[in-house]
Amino acid sequence: MKARVYVTLKAGVLDPQGQAAKHTLGRLGYGEVEGVRIGKYIELTMDETDPARAKERAAAMCEGLLANTVIEDYRVEIEPEDADGADGAASEG
């Protein structure tokens, strides 16, 4: 089972990497860019068949290692085991 984890800086936390990207984009001709925030996108492959359990474990991994919860938020999505025919919902179990 796969989990997708999105780790983003909390609102109000400075993002120097994003600011540098915004500046460079402006210089490259992308003046319409008003803001850039850069976070992490993590794909976890897990030996786990229960989507609820997988989500719970992935959230625990975020708390323990993958995110710095003082300054970052995270969101976990579980990808259904059989992608074909499935409709985006976690239907394993």
Shorter beta-carbon distance to a second copy: residue 6 or 81: 6
Binding a second copy (rule: CB under 8 A), the pick from 19, 21, 59, 73 is 21
Location of structure tokens 């359990």: 53
| Diameter of the chain measured on Cα atoms | 51
Q: How far apart are CB 82 and a second copy at their closest, in Å?
A: 17
Residue 84, CB-side half-sphere exposure with 13 Å CA sphere: 0
Rule CB under 8 A: say whether 71 interacts with a second copy. Answer: no
With a CB cutoff of 8 Å and minimum separation 6, the contacts of 46 are 1, 2, 3, 54, 57, 58
Rule CB under 8 A: say whether 59 interacts with a second copy. Answer: no
Q: Which residues bind a second copy (CB under 8 A)?
A: 6-8, 18, 21, 24-25, 28, 30, 32-48, 57, 60-61, 64-66
